[in-house]
Amino acid sequence: MATPDALDLLITSRNHDLKREIAAEAEAQDWLFALVSLQVSEGYGGRGNHGIARMNGGSSSRAMVARVPMGAGLRIDPSAWFRRDVTALLRARAEGRHRHIGTEGGPALIWTLPWPEGRKLSIGALDPWFVEVCRRVRLYRDAAGAIRAMRATSTAGRIEAKAQKGAVGDPWAPVHKGEGKAFTLSSGDFDYRTIDKLYFGTDWERPLLSTAQPDDADGPVLLLFEALARGNSKTEGFRSRVVVMPRALNGREVDAGVFSKEQIADIAEGAKALNTALALVVAGGADPSKEDRVLVRSSGDRMQARLDAVFFDYLGARLEGAPREAFQAEVRAQARATFEAEWQGYAVDALFRHRAEARARRTLDIMLARLRTEEMEDDA
């Protein structure tokens, strides 16, 4: 291979929009980054090209959920992040608090070990925080002094860990408590539902490096969610999201989970009201059919995407004492704004247009009026 982008994780076999082997002016660090990314994050790539152990299957993804130190302007401070994580790992190792499979002091730098054909390393014999390799790749310099890579296939993966389903003690990886498997991001994104499930829900175990540490600085909490979304023999793009939460989150993750579920329910009610109103428009004011409701679903999706952008701002405010009604008011406002922006874009017979608009507006008002907390109803 002549360029480091040929080692890239993105599957570009058709060579269409993303061209292969175009990084002709690459430096040594480009090769290093490409090689490390491949060896610690790659999935199954066809016969003889196996994926990593820290992944639930070859078509899965290696997700990262972490707390990260904040630099200037709410930006991630990479140096402080590295120090924080290393300190936390050493502390957990010394105290025996980390979940892991393996043998402390076992082989850790897997690329330094011989790789006989067909032989796998036992996950139980390796150090819990081993740095793995999954492909046979070697860098060298050609006659002109340029860095090149040569690679070969293998009849078996490097590490025997299929039974663990990716749950091998990765300090950044969420693990399902009941099924004992690492999280996979397929074609989705880190939206409010996914983050609620991973960080504020009860089914997934928060990874070690996503939890508060004794020497964390005061101030806002930055939560980082990252993964290369994967499917069967394809990649769906790199997903990354930083969520800023107040310091009040510490020790109140359960409360945050309750508030998050309430906000998710509020969004669902708002989307239901919007979709019902728009379906009435499409139906000309008559009872909407199933097809009418399917047709307007994209409008509800757009409203939910806008609420996703402010979801965690309101959640943080709830932890600091703001009422639920503030978010419900935002949902009502977004539902009405979406209705006004989109209802005229749906085709409806001119004969029934005024009737459709009147019934749709009335239905929207009635359904959104129900989007109130019990406390607000009592005050009314």
The predicted-structure confidence for 301-316, as pLDDT tens digits, reads as follows 999 999 999 999 999 9
pLDDT tens digit string along 331-371? 999 999 999 999 988 888 888 889 999 999 999 999 999 99
b/e map 48-80, b = 16+ CB within 10 Å: ebbbbbbbbbbbbbbbbbbbbbbeeeeeebeee
- Domain contains 75: yes
- Domain contains 53: no
pLDDT at 20: 65
Are 287 and 357 part of one and the same domain?
Answer: yes
Q: Is the dihedral of CA 251, 252, 257, 263 positive or negative?
A: negative
- Domain contains 277: yes
pLDDT tens digit string along 76-98? 999 999 999 999 999 999 988 77
pLDDT at 110: 94
Q: Which residues pair with 243 in a beta bridge?
A: 223
Are 275 and 320 part of one and the same domain?
Answer: yes
Tell which of 133, 155, 177 closes a domain.
155
- Domain contains 379: no
Tokens of 361: 């507006």
Are 219 and 187 part of one and the same domain?
Answer: yes
pLDDT tens digit string along 166-202? 999 999 999 999 999 999 998 789 999 999 999 999 9
Are 226 and 333 part of one and the same domain?
Answer: no
Are 273 and 344 part of one and the same domain?
Answer: yes
- Domain contains 83: yes
Residue 3 has pLDDT above 90, yes or no: no
Residue 376 has pLDDT above 60, yes or no: no
Are 95 and 109 part of one and the same domain?
Answer: no
Q: What is the residue type of 362?
A: R
Are 292 and 353 part of one and the same domain?
Answer: yes
Task: Please give the Cα distance from 44 to 150 (Å, whole number).
Answer: 19
Task: Please give the Cα distance from 252 to 200 (Å, whole number).
Answer: 10
Tokens of 192: 């409010």
- Residues of the chain with pLDDT > 90, as a percent, come to 71
pLDDT at 374: 54
- Domain contains 327: yes
Are 92 and 16 part of one and the same domain?
Answer: no
Which residues constitute the domain of residue 24?
1-42+105-155
Are 239 and 265 part of one and the same domain?
Answer: no
Are 38 and 184 part of one and the same domain?
Answer: no
- Smallest Cα–Cα separation from 130: which of 100, 152, 157? 100
Q: Which residues pair with 239 in a beta bridge?
A: 227
Q: Can you give the pTM of this predicted structure?
A: 0.89
- Domain contains 380: no
Q: If you compute the radius of gyration of the chain from its CA atoms, what whole number of angstroms results?
A: 25
Task: Please give the Cα distance from 303 to 267 (Å, whole number).
Answer: 9
Are 259 and 354 part of one and the same domain?
Answer: yes
- Domain contains 213: yes
Tell which of 245, 267, 302 closes a domain.
245
Residue 380 has pLDDT above 50, yes or no: no
Return the CATH number at 260.
1.10.132.100
Domain count, the chain: 3
Task: Please give the Cα distance from 365 to 359 (Å, whole number).
Answer: 10
Are 93 and 220 part of one and the same domain?
Answer: yes
